[in-house]
Amino acid sequence: MKKPQNKITLQLNNETVVSVTGVIAPIEHMNPNFHEEWDALANLRVAEPEKMYPTSVFSAFLPDRPVSVGDYWQIDNQGALTLLRQFHPKPNLDMHINVGDSRGLWACLRAYNDQLADITFRIHAEFALDDGWFTPSQFAGHLVINRINKSVTFFQMRVPEGTLFDVNWKKYKDDSDFNYSTGGGICPQIELRAEMCYVPQETAFTTSITCEEAENTLIQRFYKSQQINWVSFEEALKISQEQQKPIHAISIDGPLADEAC
């Protein structure tokens, strides 16, 4: 019989403040080159490069019950929106294109010891620009809290490096059908960060799962396709031959696991 894991309660002291810096780097490449034609996209920069927040904002990322490592929960919308507005004044969590698995804000307890707790999270959000939408692949991040004095030790919310963004631009304003022109690209850096205290990379946690395991837990909250036990083509071919079953191949133009298509 599997022994149940210890559960811990995660809390923050609402009297302290946290300084968060923000960056949106200039877009260097996209197809088509809307970032050279569309002013709202060409001038997309972080709304507030630095901002002070009460710790209560980060309580939105904490569960309302005791949790074990690997447990997951939903993030409070209002707290997330408050932070997203540091990027841009018009964030949207409802996602203007949604086929049923796009919306959501989820967090997971990745690790803890007597002093620290490390929370991994994933948020799907976009920004309403003048005449269109800017939709990153995802916002991923970590919140590390000090369990002893109930303070924020480290916070990061970012669009993962190398992932795509989508844009939908009403390029032709006299188009009565209100059709959007669509493009995609990569932005070198979109990030909010607060480092109140240095956290060594080699921190020894009493109980933990890997970052990859935590991210996999979160991605399954969004996409049913990620609940499939995917195997390589070579392994699928081997299984097909062993079981004498055909392989059905599907070609997909775009990722299955984020909001950029």
Written as tens digits, the pLDDT of the chain (261 aa) is 344 479 999 999 878 899 999 999 999 899 999 999 999 999 999 999 999 999 999 999 999 999 999 999 999 999 999 999 999 999 999 988 877 767 899 999 999 999 999 999 999 999 999 999 999 999 999 999 999 999 999 999 999 998 889 999 988 776 655 688 999 999 999 999 998 876 767 789 999 999 999 999 998 888 666 667 777 888 888 988 899 888 877 776 666 666 566
Look at residue 1 in the predicted model and tell me its pLDDT. 35
CB-CB neighbours of 65 under 10 Å: 10
Cα angle 62, 66, 68 (rounded to 5 degrees) comes to 95
Round to whole Å and give the CA distance between 174 and 50: 39
Look at residue 160 in the predicted model and tell me its pLDDT. 93
Round to whole Å and give the CA distance between 92 and 68: 31
Look at residue 258 in the predicted model and tell me its pLDDT. 62
Q: Which residues is 147 bridged to in the sheet?
A: none
Cα angle 177, 181, 186 (rounded to 5 degrees) comes to 155
Round to whole Å and give the CA distance between 45 and 25: 7
Look at residue 133 in the predicted model and tell me its pLDDT. 95
Report field, pTM of the whole predicted structure over 0.75: yes
